[in-house]
Structure 1
Amino acid sequence: MSQFIEMFGNPVTNTKGWKTAKIKDVAPEMPSKEQLSGKIWLLNLDMIESNTGRIIEKVYEDVENALSVQSFDEGNVLFSKLRPYLNKVVIPDEPGMATTELVPLRPEPSKLHKVFLSHLLRGNQFVNYANDIAGGTKMPRMPLTELRNFDCILPPMDKQLEFVFIAEQVDKSKFGDFKSQFIEMYYNTHNKQTLESVCPIMNKGITPKYVESSSVLVINQACIHWDGQRLGNIKYHNEEIPVRKRILESGDVLLNATGNGTLGRCCVFICPSDNNTYINDGHVIALSTDRAVILPEVLNTYLSLNDTQAEIYRQYVTGSTNQVDIVFSDIKKMKVPVPSMDEQILFVEVLTQADKSKSVIQKALVYLNDIQSDELGKIA
């Protein structure tokens, strides 16, 4: 959040004198108009991590069982008006339904970027402001009138996008103290090869025919995150329609190929079950590496580096701001550094150990956040 304050100042007192508009005018409350059916993502406050907005657990329920809820989609920013001190703000990565305690703000993309808005609402300055005006003793809530009439700062969109880029890089930083060592390994490597030469198989997936359930599971962009795959977002393809594309295998590197805010995200696929068939959809590029040349974890890490992401957006993307796509024929020619296999194996060993440590830390943080929430609830 210090980067936000450095760039934009205090958003509550508007110390840098930005142009402003009422939140109701640039991010009105607007649930999704999408008609949901079957099993849907049902989001409650206890499933949201305080201060980060990360989803601790995804629960899917039949839509008929969803009571006292409202719809949302990827265009919303969900703000919890209940107990503002718990600081729960979410940008959903797929449609669903949420408790009515979550206000479904819908920022106007040309004026207010959803990531920028989420950081503004999550910052200490706004949280303190919301706490100060919250009404109610045991169950304090920020008055909706005050939220709607809040003077939201509106820096130029290029400044907002600059911040969004920085924020997303921070979110990707999973490699801890040894990341600089990894970067040094890459940039000391003189052996560079094209992506298509180190990945004998590169393909976009199918156009699925979705059904409620089947043994053919579709990996889509919402499944691919910087910290790995999240299969709570998986969808199903009609198994009676033959799949004429290559089936995904463990070790494939998956690269999101389209969408502002999703393009460029990548992870290494790990097949969770031999009993099902896994396939990528047409918005996801699957890269199968020649493991005698480059290991999947090494390629994935290179693709996730800030400089590589900037190169992808600069040289291999077409389309306007809100509808961007990787040009498949162009990215095949992207040059990839190929370190020695000894260096790669050493890096993967360190990476594996770091992931184990990170998992332990994340579980501890979730546990501590739960305790903190319980204690704050008792105080309230």
Structure 2
Amino acid sequence: MKYVTLKELSNEGMFKDGDWIESKDQDKEGNVRLLQLADIGVGEFLDKSSKFINNDTFETLKCTEIKNGDILIARMPDPIGRACLFPIESSDLRYITAVDVAILRVNNNVDNRYVCYILNSPSMLSESLRQCTGATRKRISRSKLAQFQIPLPPLETQKKIAAILDEADKLRQLDKQLIEKYDALTQSLFLDMFGDPVTNPKGWDTINLGSVCGVGSSRRVFVDELVEDGIPFYRGTEVGKLGEGKSIIPTLFITRYHYESLKAERGIPKQGDLLMPSICPDGRIWVVDNDKEFYFKDGRVLWVEVDSKTMNSIYLRYHLKGSFFANYNNIASGTTFAELKIVALKKMTVFYPDIKLQNQFAERVQAIEAQKELAQQSLQKSEDLFNSLLQKAFKGELVK
């Protein structure tokens, strides 16, 4: 099997970082869209951002315009090294990307779908993580990415492999769509029972969140206090995944002694409390659902202590999700990233219906969640199948 570097795959050397665009360069009325890390999924263009510059700035800064079929590689989490194809064929807009996204335009002897699949294989993502640098904000340089080697069979074989993986990916996407429908059903149930959490059309009594729940974070844990084994330590990344219903494998830990000290000083989350990343426009809120020991990062993870006698955790989670979806920019603050702050969260207004009605909502949600769990199990099987095929493709074993 022939192996080549990513740099060798590029069309006339088109493997470069995106553009350095500062806040002062941006223009809400511009017609050049600036893609962000949040737009880059694992094999999927997520299309989340809404930042722009104008044509004059594009020309002045000599920006690189992205074209349909370009491979966009994220040089920062999560996960580092994930890649997707830029899918937009024609538009009134031009597109560029932020500096922490690398742009790879492959030559005519290479199938871009095949390369994108290989880049997202467990082996390549693991290598990206191993090659990254930075203690707090990890990233991989484009120069290191350029030296990554991938198997390169003949073009026709590449196309066959990509076609097989396309079919396996369809199974994954169907399961994901079903899960999304269950999520939408739950949010619709909230709107039906309680109304819009921002406009309050049903006229519910309201209360500041800080008046009915404790709102805060943890005690600070410094980088040099982390160890290789012990009590799991969660950052916003891990908490966000738990909020999405995903399983995680802890990679950071603190000692038992340190954990007991922090527990005695500040306490720890109990079952039914809510944890959320400080950057949470998509409502990735985790209802702590077990009594396993863990601790979490101050500031980057916010903690809502819930009293089950007055507030149902599931009800509150969906109330906050709805509020964040509709009104996040008015709740969060920050120039670079809009982050939730403890003070703002305490002042946030929430509906305060009778606890019996909250509990009725939670019971209905749990019935939906039971069906969603079956869909998640199906998704896990389709993910396992896809990753197995991907690994075979990487090893040159998928197509003979």
Q: Distance in 1 between matches of 2:207 and 2:368?
A: 23
CA drift of 1:104 comes to: 5.8
Q: Does 1:232 align with 2:217?
A: no
TM norm structure 1: 0.54
SS of 1:96's partner is helix
Computing the radius of gyration from Cα coordinates, the structure with the larger value is 2
| Selected match of 2:82 from 78, 85, 89 | 78
Q: Is the 8 A contact 1:266 1:304 kept in 2?
A: yes
Return the structure number with greater relative CO, CA threshold 8 A, min gap 6: 2
Amino acid at match of 2:378: I
Q: Which whole-Å CA distance do the structure 2 matches of 1:79 and 1:310 have between them?
A: 29
Instruction: Give the deviation of 1:254 after TM superposition.
Output: 0.5
**1:179 CA drift (Å):** 3.1
Q: Match of 2:130, as an amino acid?
A: M
Q: 1:215 & 1:379 partners in 2: Cα distance?
A: 43
Q: Which residue of 2 aligns with 1:343?
A: 360
Q: Aligned equivalents of 1:290 and 1:370: distance in 2? A: 42
Whole-angstrom distance in 2 between the partners of 1:87 and 1:304: 35
Q: Which has the higher helix share?
A: 2
Residue 342 of structure 1 deviates from its aligned partner by: 4.5
Matched, 1:203 2:216: yes
Give the unaligned 5+ runs of structure 2.
1-13, 21-40, 47-73, 85-111, 133-138, 143-151, 160-177, 196-201
When the two chains are superposed, the root-mean-square deviation of aligned CA atoms in Å is: 4.5
Tell me the distance in 2 between the aligned counterparts of 1:87 and 1:189. Answer: 53
Q: Tell me what 1:247 maps to.
A: 268
Q: Distance in 1 between matches of 2:131 and 2:156?
A: 22
What is the aligned partner in structure 2 of residue 266 from structure 1? 285
Is the aligned partner of 1:329 residue 2:343? yes
- CA shift at 1:182, angstroms? 2.4
**Residue of structure 2 in register with 1:194 after alignment:** 208
Q: 1:26 aligns with which of 14, 18, 40?
A: 18
Equivalent-residue separation in structure 2 for 1:372 and 1:238 (angstroms) = 39
Which amino acid is the alignment partner of residue 266 of structure 1? Answer: I
For residues 313 and 208 of structure 1, the distance between their equivalents in structure 2, rounded to whole angstroms, comes to: 29
Correspondence for 2:101: none
**1:313 maps to which residue?**
329
Whichever residue aligns with residue 220 of structure 1, its letter is: R
Q: Residue type of the partner of 2:351? A: P
For residue 376 of structure 2, the aligned residue among 359, 371, 378 is 359
Residue in 1 aligned with 2:308?
291
1:346 is paired with a residue whose SS is helix
CA shift in 2, pair 1:370/1:211, >3 Å: closer
Return 5+ residue gaps in structure 1 as ranges: 1-21, 29-48, 55-70, 107-133, 142-169
TM-score by length of 2: 0.51
* TM alignment of 1:38-57, pairs within 5 A: 51-52=43-44
Per-residue Cα deviation, 1:191-242 (whole angstroms, up to 9, x for no partner) = 322212331x222112113332454432210112241364424522244442
Aligned equivalents of 1:318, 1:374: Cα separation in 2: 42
- After TM superposition, give the deviation of residue 180 of structure 1 in Å: 1.5
CA distance in 2, matches of 1:245, 1:326: 21
Q: State the shift of 1:334 in Å.
A: 0.9
In structure 2, distance between residues paired with 1:73 and 1:50: 13
CA gap of 1:203–1:211, structure 2 versus 1, over 3 A, is same
The count of residues paired between Structure 1 and Structure 2 equals 257
Change (3 A) 1:257 1:92: farther
Flag the structure with higher strand content. Answer: 1
